[in-house]
Amino acid sequence: MKISNNKKISGIFDFLFIAENLKNTERWISVKGLKKRESSADHSWKMSLMTMIVNTEFDFNVDKVKVLKMSVVHDLVEAITGDIDYYLISTGAVSSKQKVENELKAIKEIRKMLPSKIGSEIYDLWHEFEEAKSIDARFSKAIDRLETMSHYLSFSLDGPDKTKNWGPNLQATYGDKALLEFPQLLPFLREIKHRLRKRYEKAGIKWFKEYDAV
């Protein structure tokens, strides 16, 4: 195969230059006292790894290639917008409407800089994930929450800020809604909660029975 379309190649590298920002896009910006914050690239990599593993070991009747692609691209917009975490939205510190508008603008910019075929594919995958209506998107949303909750297990529960921001209640229930939309993955959520509960108890943090409602 001979490749001679320099315009396509240029567009690909323009995009990759922007995507590089994900390596330095910090998550958990509302969490105080973290020694090291993970990046959006860290999260997307681990989510993709989880997607590959669970789809190899179990049959969830999803498009395995598609959901893996969805994991890779679901947070691409953050290379342009940065990460606005769930706590900031849930408390009204940041407008959900503005976040959506910024991300829509970013995904359109990404589609425009890439060759049309891959640009449209990434654009469509991102929208499908955000809408969370298809079985593939609901699966990916659930994996997204599971990855985030699994990262909680590396958080320090010591210090005066342990019950603020991403505190015990938010950590313990963060994945509930998304997992109810894809209940086949609930055993994974329960395993994470089991481990989280042990950490809470060790740190002297109360585990409320409603945390186990899902």
The residue type found at 204 is: G
Residue 181 scores a pLDDT above 60: yes
Kindly report, residue by residue over 116-147, the tens digit of the pLDDT: 999 999 999 999 999 999 999 999 999 999 99
Helical residues (DSSP H) of 30-95, grouped into ranges: 40-57, 64-73, 78-81, 86-90
Phi-psi region of 176 (alpha: psi -120 to 50; beta: other; left: phi over 0): alpha
Query: pTM to 2 decimals?
Result: 0.90
Lowest mean pLDDT among 30-34, 66-70, 106-110, 143-147: 30-34
Using the structure block, give the residue that is written with the tokens 């909680």: 152
DSSP string, 97-134: HHHHHHHHHHHHHHHHHS-HHHHHHHHHHHHHHHHT-S
Kindly report, residue by residue over 161-176, the tens digit of the pLDDT: 444 445 778 889 999 9
What integer pLDDT is reported at residue 158 of this predicted model?
A: 57
**Mean of the per-residue pLDDT values of the chain:** 90
Q: What is the DSSP letter of 184?
A: G
C-alpha 205/C-alpha 212 separation (Å) is: 15
Residue 72 scores a pLDDT above 70: yes
What integer pLDDT is reported at residue 84 of this predicted model?
A: 81
Write down all domains in the chain, each with its CATH number in brackets: 7-212 (1.10.3210.10)
pLDDT average, residue stretch 77-101: 84
Residue, of 91 and 39, whose pLDDT is higher? 39
29 SS3 class: coil
C-alpha 96/C-alpha 15 separation (Å) is: 26
